[in-house]
Amino acid sequence: MDTTDNHCLKSGYLLKQGLHGKWKARRFVLTEDHLIYHRKWKTRIGVSSMPLEGCSVVCPCLDANLPLSNPLGTFKICLPSGDHEVYLQAAGEEERDQWAHAIGAVIRSLSTIKQVSCHRKVPFQHFRVYANVSEIIGAIQEPGAGVELGMHVRGGIVYRNCFQGCDLVNWLLRWSVVRNRENGAAMAQTLLKLGHLQEVELNDGSAIAGQRFKDGESLYRFTSLNMGAKRDSCSDNTDSDSSSSEDEEEEETERQKRPPKKGKVIKESFLLRKKNLSPGWQAVKVILRENPSTLEFHKATVMLETEKLCKVMDLNGCTIKDHVKKEEDNLNATKRHLLSVKDSKGKRLTLSAGSLDECRGWQTQLHNLCKSASTTVSTAK
């Protein structure tokens, strides 16, 4: 499988849940039609490829069967082969949204390519002239106000995060987006043609493209679903206003119980850290904070709030340098994007990013915070 930079849309490190529920760090590469991940840090060793055609992405993933300390960093990819799902976890919400958006864009692109043109002309004028498509999709997916998603049982098989075609048309009529059911079906057909919707084939649960939208009991799902912070993907019904309010109060109480962490989070992601006492690399979760400016390291696994940090580095007096190193093995030459942080005592920390863009992003943020920290200390003196 060719994973050269020419075919790479996005790359980086994520946690992937294995067959036995364990989470392990993997390097992922997003191409124009596949999501490729590496079980080893070498580029072409232990490579698995996931075709994205017919898949859908759910972000964030709040499934009840995932006991995570950071559920808002988790998203999932629903494969076209029935109920099989792949759970992934980013280091933070911003990184999670970037991955989910990029994967969703690829799936929509593949759905659009596979569309079969309809012979009968759609009687509804293209609504993109009057409305922003992203705004329409956002409103349809709005938790508590959009189309209600749930579990539908057909032929003894459970389909999650789906809705009936008539439910979408009813929603468009209820909110006066369209004037009649014919226009509602035509608008839904446009969303289907643009790759935002997929019809679920009941015999195997896969999503199919190129079909005309049916205003009836046919099941559909979103290609890219932003479920919001309050929606549970295993639930049929959205929470009532009272229960939602109670949940918010409980979460606020829980946050007050936790000891506050010093410093505002500026950037966080999974990186590789060069081991000091033994050869090789270790996957770590890196968090960059300001006021005070520090660099934190966690184990790249599902962390509990009570677990201690592996390491905290004070950025005052640190210097930053990045470079690309080629590592040769018996298969090929691998490019590694390295970032070195040297503290005031001369101790060096070497990190490896998943891509050149990510490496430069970390370099910029670290340079700014190191400069800011040095200025603050000088002013204090």
pTM above 0.85, yes or no: no
Rounded CA-CA distance 348/26 in Å is 25
E strands present in 118-232: 150-154, 157-164, 197-200, 207-208, 219-222, 224-226
Q: In whole angstroms, give the CA distance from residue 278 to residue 206.
A: 46
Measured between alpha carbons, how far is residue 12 from residues 51, 91, 167, 264, 357 in Å?
18, 11, 38, 23, 10
For the chain, the domains span 264-380
Residue 123 DSSP symbol: S
Question: What whole-number distance in Å separates Cα of residue 379 and Cα of residue 381?
Answer: 5
Per residue in 317-351, is it b (16+ CB within 10 Å) or e — as a string?
ebebebeeeeeeeeeeeeebbbbebebeeeeebbb
Q: How many whole angstroms separate alpha carbon 110 and alpha carbon 217?
A: 25
Task: For residue 14, give Cα distances in angstroms to 27, 38, 100, 299.
Answer: 6, 11, 12, 13
Sign of CA dihedral 251, 252, 253, 256: positive
Domain 264-380, architecture per CATH:
Roll (2.30)
How far is CA 30 from each of CA 7, 14, 122, 298, 351, rounded to the nearest angstrom?
A: 8, 12, 35, 25, 22
360 token code pair: 């430069």
Count Cβ atoms below 10 Å from residue 258 Cβ, excluding itself.
9
- pLDDT tens string, the chain, 381 residues long: the values are 444 444 789 999 999 988 777 888 899 999 999 999 987 665 555 688 899 988 999 998 877 666 555 667 899 998 876 568 899 999 888 999 999 999 999 998 887 765 544 444 444 455 544 457 778 888 999 888 999 998 888 777 778 888 999 999 999 999 988 899 999 999 998 898 888 998 886 555 555 545 689 999 999 999 998 865 443 333 333 333 333 344 444 444 444 444 445 788 999 999 999 877 667 888 889 999 988 889 988 887 755 444 555 688 888 888 888 776 665 544 444 577 888 898 888 888 899 888 888 898 999 999 888 876 555 544 444
Distances (CA, A) of 109 to 32, 49, 104, 106, 156: 9, 18, 9, 5, 32
What is the dihedral sign for C-alpha 83, 139, 267, 64?
negative
Per-residue 3-state assignment (H helix, E strand, C coil) for 231-272: CCCCCCCCCCHHHHHHHHHHHHHHHHHCCCCCCEEEEEEEEE
